[in-house]
Amino acid sequence: MPHRSRSLLLVLFAVAALVAACAPSAKPADLARAGTARATSSGSPLDGIGYVPSTVPETALRQRPADAPDLVIIAFSGHCGLVCDTRSTWSYLDHASESTGGVAVLDGIKTAYEHLGFGDIEVFGVSSFATSHYSSISGKIEQGYLQAQAYLDEVKAAWIDGVADPTRVVLVGHSHGTVWASLLAMNNLDVTFDSFVALDAICWMWWNKHKGFIKDTFVDGPWTIPFPLDNGDPCGTLTVPGQKQPMNINDVVPANVIFGLEVRTSFRLFSLDPNVLADDDVNVRINGSSSNVWGITAQESHSSLGNHYNRSISWVASMLQALGVPDHGAYPMSSFVLPPPPAGFDYSQGELVPATP
Ligand SMILES: [Ca+2]
Ligand SMILES: [Ca+2]
């Protein structure tokens, strides 16, 4: 980058950081109070495996409605740039770029699933924002986290709960969008996500950009605050065995995700903080293992990774096809939360108990 434009960027960046620092903040006590409104504390795989899924007798299962898709992809785009107004975030992952023959990131991922035999796939694109809002970049109303939650609630009620061959759900996130996608997974433990595709999971500045809107929506508004935002910043706060530093929420693959795929870029615009524009943390499970977690280092830059189909997305597509369609019964959440029990023991409500003969 030419020296002048780099200097200009640094100045703009400093201004943006100042503006963000002046944003209304959510006080810890207010956030915590909003958290007590949550009906249960089962918002988290971090609670151990205390969560017990409700079991429906097989005889009670109904057929999936004829109009139900085989699979839905919920995709969170990232922030609109370093210096843009957060209100202008928009859903770009399904937006095709002329320069690549009109193939969007989500087209590539959707095609991979079509090759696995899914005929009817629905894509739900979400912007990096707490709720729906008008974006001056896309020029239209964009959906946010609340709309993704509402959509997932509908998918659950109509096409998953009590259904013999339920609709499958896949998560995709780019940059800051991976934080929202992680929140959605961790706050819907009754849904098993076939895969979570994380494209350069950046956590840095997420809280700064969003804490004011989170206060508006979940503290001052009527909506239930997602775990773990009642504790504030979700970055650098999760303790994982074997990791020196507390992890970012979007570097820990939730326990109700079967396959965790990630693409990390290595390009650094600002050397002072390595996490500014590149995901430098290899993903792990909450128990410190790497079960069903795979990643690559991209050749693309952070932005181009999400802007159009590219070699990294081609790797994602190949992996999804190679991994195939997972059997949900083979991957209970407990397998990703706690290590295997020693011989002669089982887990019950998160505690080791002697195995029943
Ligand atoms: Ca990562
Ligand atoms: Ca990261």
Q: Where along the chain do its domains lie?
A: 3-51+70-354
258 Cα–ligand 2 center, Å: 19
Q: Tell me how far the alpha carbon of residue 43 lies from the centroid of ligand 2, in angstroms.
A: 21
Burial call 247-263: b when 16+ CB within 10 Å, e when fewer: bbbbbbbbbbbbbbbbb
Q: Is the pLDDT of residue 70 over 80?
A: yes
Decide if pLDDT at 170 tops 80. yes
Q: For residues 247 and 240, is the Cβ–Cβ distance under 8 A?
A: yes
Measure Cα distances from 271 to 29, 278, 320, 331 in Å: 35, 11, 34, 40
On the question of pLDDT at 272 being above 60, the answer is no
Nearest CA to 181 out of 195, 167, 168 is that of: 195
pLDDT of 314 above 80:
yes
Query: For position 36, what pLDDT does the model report?
Result: 78
pLDDT (0 to 100) of residue 267: 63
Domain 3-51+70-354: which CATH class? Answer: alpha beta
**Range 239-252 average pLDDT:** 90
Q: Which ligand is nearest to the CA of 274?
A: 2
Considering the chain, what is the average pLDDT of its residues? Answer: 85
- CA 356 / ligand 2 centre spacing (Å): 42
The C-alpha torsion from 239 through 244 and 245 to 250, rounded to 10°, is -60
Q: Residue 264 — very low, low, confident or very high, per pLDDT cuts 50/70/90?
A: very high
Residue 51 pLDDT level (bands cut at 50, 70, 90): low
**Mean pLDDT along residues 322-336:** 92
pLDDT at 46 over 60: no
Q: Report pLDDT for 24.
A: 56
Residue 8 clears pLDDT 80, i.e. is over it: no
Around ion ligand 2, residues with a beta carbon closer than 5 Å are 201, 248, 251, 279, 281
Q: Does the pLDDT at position 275 exceed 50? A: no
CA of 253 to the centre of ligand 2 (A): 11
What confidence score (pLDDT) does residue 58 get? 62
331: CB partners within 8 A, 6+ apart? 192, 258, 292
Give the ligand at the shortest distance from the Cα of 273.
2
**Interior angle at CA 178, CA 172 and CA 179, nearest 5:** 145
**What was the pLDDT predicted at 279?**
83
pLDDT of residue 150: 97
Q: Quote the CA–CA distance of 237 and 89 in Å, as a whole number.
A: 25
How far, in Å, is the centroid of ligand 1 from the Cα of 62?
38
User: What pLDDT was estimated at residue 307?
Assistant: 86
**Sorting pLDDT into bands at 50, 70 and 90, what band is 53?**
low
**Average pLDDT of 122-129?**
98
Q: Indicate the residue type of 172.
A: V
